[in-house]
Amino acid sequence: MPTCQNCGHKWSLKNTLKVAFKFNGNVGQKCSHCGETQYVSKKSKNQIGIMGIVAFIVVVLIRPLLNQDFSTSMLLAIPLVIVLVIMSIYLTKLSNTREAIR
């Protein structure tokens, strides 16, 4: 779980998921302990994004290679999404400032 860069408070699962999966990465989440706004670090955004792209590519490329139908591909995608969510919880690191991805 990430910790607040201002006060060192360890964030809850709920707050971590809120900040990790916001579509607008420039919107921060206030620390429940000190009230300071925290943002997902640039490195974390990149790692989580790359994992999502890799999971998508695996599902798309495995399907024709193994002659799978769509439902079988979705059965493969569901565990990948679960793993992605779990890994993103542990990869999420916080920053006191907004860090643009470029």
Give the pLDDT confidence score for residue 28 in this predicted structure: 81
User: Looking at the whole model, is its pTM more than 0.75?
Assistant: no
Residue 24 has pLDDT above 70, yes or no: no
* DSSP three-state, residue 40: strand
pLDDT per residue as tens digits for the range 31-73: 888 989 998 888 988 888 898 898 888 888 877 777 878 788 7
SS3 content of the chain, % helix, strand, coil (to 5): 55, 10, 35
Mean pLDDT of the chain: 84
Of 25, 14, 23, give the one whose Cα is nearest residue 95.
25
